Amino acid sequence: MRVRQLTAAAAVLLLAAGLGGCSEGPAPGRGPAAAPVSADPTAATGDVGPADRTAVRDGGTVRWAVDGVPATLNVYQGGATADSALLAHALYPSLFRPDAHGRLLPDPDYLAGAESTPPGQLPQVVTYRLNPHAVWSDGTPLSAADLTAQRAALSGLDPAYRGGKAAGYDAIDAITPGADPHEVKVTFRRPYAEWRSLFGPLYPVAETATAEAFERPLAGGGHKSAGPFTVSRYDAEGGRVTVVRNPLWWGDRPKADRIDFVAGPPERRLDALDQDRLDVAPLTAAVDRAVPAAPSASSSPAGTSPTGSPSAGTSPAGSPSPGTPAPSRPAAAPPAAVPEAAALALRRAESLPGITVHRAAAASLTQLTVNAARGPLTDPVVRRALARAVDRRRVADAALGPLGLPGAPLGSHLLAEDQEGYRDNSAAAGPEDAAQLLDAAGWQRPAGRSTRAKDGKELALTLLVPAGSATARRTADALVADLAASGIAVRPATAPAETFVKDHLAVGDYDLALFSWPVGPSTAGEQRAAYAKPRPDADGALDPGGNYGRSGTEEIDRLFDRASAELDPAARLELLQEADVRIWQLGHSVPLYQRPELVAVRTGLAGAGAWGFGWPRFQDVGWTR
What's the confidence (pLDDT) of residue 45? 63
What's the confidence (pLDDT) of residue 335? 63
Beta bridge partner(s), residue 118: none
What's the confidence (pLDDT) of residue 281? 98
What's the confidence (pLDDT) of residue 336? 63
**pLDDT tens profile 214-233:** 999 999 878 999 999 999 99
Predicted confidence band at 339 (pLDDT cuts at 50, 70, 90)? confident
Predicted confidence band at 164 (pLDDT cuts at 50, 70, 90)? low
Question: If you average pLDDT over residues 242-252, what whole number do you get?
Answer: 98
What's the confidence (pLDDT) of residue 587? 98
In the chain, the N- to C-terminal Cα span, in Å, equals 54
| H-state helical runs in 229-325 | 269-274, 284-288
Question: If you average pLDDT over residues 244-252, what whole number do you get?
Answer: 98
User: What count of Cα atoms within 13 Å lies in the side-chain half-sphere of residue 259?
Assistant: 32
φ, ψ dihedrals at 489, nearest 5°:
-85, 130
Q: Please write down the HEC assignment for all residues of 328-366.
A: CCCCCCCCCHHHHHHHHHHHHHHHCCCEEEEEEEEEEEE
**pLDDT tens profile 281-301:** 999 999 999 977 655 444 333
Beta bridge partner(s), residue 114: 128
- d(C-alpha 389, C-alpha 479), whole Å: 9
What's the confidence (pLDDT) of residue 571? 97
What's the confidence (pLDDT) of residue 596? 95
What's the confidence (pLDDT) of residue 243? 97
- d(C-alpha 514, C-alpha 492), whole Å: 10
What's the confidence (pLDDT) of residue 176? 97
- d(C-alpha 486, C-alpha 427), whole Å: 18
What's the confidence (pLDDT) of residue 310? 31
Residue 253 predicted with pLDDT over 60: yes
Query: Cβ–Cβ contacts within 10 Å for residue 491, how many?
Result: 10
What's the confidence (pLDDT) of residue 337? 75
- d(C-alpha 278, C-alpha 263), whole Å: 10
* Closest by CA position to 469, among listed 503, 406, 514: 514
Predicted confidence band at 494 (pLDDT cuts at 50, 70, 90)? very high
- d(C-alpha 558, C-alpha 565), whole Å: 11
Task: Read off the pTM.
Answer: 0.86
Residue 1 predicted with pLDDT over 70: no
Question: If you average pLDDT over residues 534-546, what whole number do you get?
Answer: 88
Residue percentage of the chain with pLDDT more than 90? 76
Please give the domain boundaries of the chain with CATH numbers for all domains: 360-521+588-596 (3.10.105.10)
Residue 504 carries which DSSP code?
I
CB 514 within 8 A of CB 539: no
**pLDDT tens profile 448-465:** 999 999 999 999 999 999
Query: Exposed, middle or buried, 237 (CB in 10 Å: 0-12/13-18/19+)?
Result: exposed
Question: If you average pLDDT over residues 424-441, what whole number do you get?
Answer: 95
Question: If you average pLDDT over residues 493-520, what whole number do you get?
Answer: 95
- Length in residues, the chain: 625
Residue 25 predicted with pLDDT over 80: no
Question: If you average pLDDT over residues 135-147, what whole number do you get?
Answer: 97
Residue 13 predicted with pLDDT over 80: no
What's the confidence (pLDDT) of residue 538? 84
Mean pLDDT across the chain = 86
What's the confidence (pLDDT) of residue 295? 55
- Cis, peptide link before residue 266, omega less than 30° from 0: no
Predicted confidence band at 46 (pLDDT cuts at 50, 70, 90)? confident
